[in-house]
Amino acid sequence: MTTAPSASPDLSAVPDAELLRLDHQVCFSLHAASRAFGGYYRRALKDLGLTYSQYLVMLVLWEQGPQSVKAIGERLHLDSGTLSPLLKRLESAGLVRRERSREDERSVVIDLTDEGAELRERALSVPRGVLAATGLSLEEVLGLQEILGRLTGALGEAVDAD
Amino acid sequence: MTTAPSASPDLSAVPDAELLRLDHQVCFSLHAASRAFGGYYRRALKDLGLTYSQYLVMLVLWEQGPQSVKAIGERLHLDSGTLSPLLKRLESAGLVRRERSREDERSVVIDLTDEGAELRERALSVPRGVLAATGLSLEEVLGLQEILGRLTGALGEAVDAD
DNA sequence: CACAACTAAGTTGTGCACAACTCAATGGCG
DNA sequence: CGCCATTGAGTTGTGCACAACTTAGTTGTG
């Protein structure tokens, strides 16, 4: 798929009722797909004792090393209201450490424990299964990612420009 | 329905660590897009007093008329644990009625109140704004929907075939 | 008919998402 | 220096998602 001349003139020609139906399908599709992914991960990650969101946080830590709550939040588009309790649970599970930064006492640096770092080895087997389970080709996955990225960006801007 | 002989041979050639990174991006993209959609709707639906999920339920009722909790759940892939409290909130908001079916006393039929039916008029303006905000063309939206549908189906099967 | 298997809805408990808020540390700026 | 706006993390409250369970109604079978 090429990057289309996105301002489709068709859109304004479609009647409201039809759009309502289409809208149903689009937002529902995305909602459903996201939850289907979540459902798959719930099982795949059960052995590791991680939830889907906790897995995302661990991925960030495995890839980027120790960093502040704010940095993780920016990477995943999550705020402290979501991350604070999640990180506490990861801490109780013995996977991460939380300590106040010395340079800036406001910020808390999250670091992997040895146990958390070791978990990466076991997590390596997860994504291959997931990608296989999607039934999508590598090209489709990359295309999907591209379009979802644009979608997220555009919706984010639309909300900001409120 | 294994329509996918498209099993890309590439996939098995990609190293684990690379897949972990890609996986991060795919599941994160979907997660983020779904939440970006949610964020947009949160604002768009604020005037109507509906949440995103409540809107999905109302769409089903507007399109298909009175039906059981189970039927709504099948349409949206949601179980009673999610729907029961959600429908109670719609009931308190005066948008739906809940009454036991006479034929089968186990099932509860959800029906729109006049107020709920009237809300449809005000909801008609929402999807045009959303589709515009995505910045996607009609073709891209349809393509996205198709691929998400396949994704959801494949992941569902993979989980069932556990 | 009786009883077991099943089904629909609801309840409970855990965790995520997010708005709105508090609180302490920081960084200007007059 | 003193004051105040800003920032990072955490808390509180509401709602969704889902697993596991309960309860009541239904259906199938001997």
pLDDT score at A136: 85
| pLDDT tens string A105-157 | 999 999 999 999 999 999 888 887 888 888 888 888 888 888 988 988 898 88
Question: Quick one: pLDDT band at residue A27, thresholds 50, 70, 90?
Answer: confident
Neighbours of B98 (CB within 10 A): 14
pLDDT score at B13: 67
pLDDT score at B1: 44
pLDDT score at A72: 97
| pLDDT tens string B25-50 | 777 888 888 888 889 999 999 999 99
Q: Which domains does chain B have, with CATH numbers?
A: 17-160 (1.10.10.10)
| pLDDT tens string A46-70 | 999 999 999 999 999 999 999 999 9
- The tokens describing B22, both together, are 């890609």
pLDDT score at A2: 42
Contact A147 B126 (CB under 8 A): no
Q: Which of A11, A39, A130 sits opposite B23 (nearest CB)?
A: A130
Closest residue by Cα to residue A160 from B28, B135, B133, B30: B133
Residue A17 has pLDDT above 90, yes or no: no
| Cβ-contact A143, B150 below 8 angstroms | no
Measure in Å the smallest separation between the Cα of B36 and chain A Cα atoms. 6
Q: How far apart are CA A45 and CA A55, in angstroms?
A: 8
Q: Flag residues of chain B having pLDDT under 70.
A: 1-17, 19-24, 162
Strand C contacts in B 81-140 (CB under 7 A): 81, 83-85, 87-88, 98, 104, 106-109
Neighbours of B52 (CB within 10 A): 18
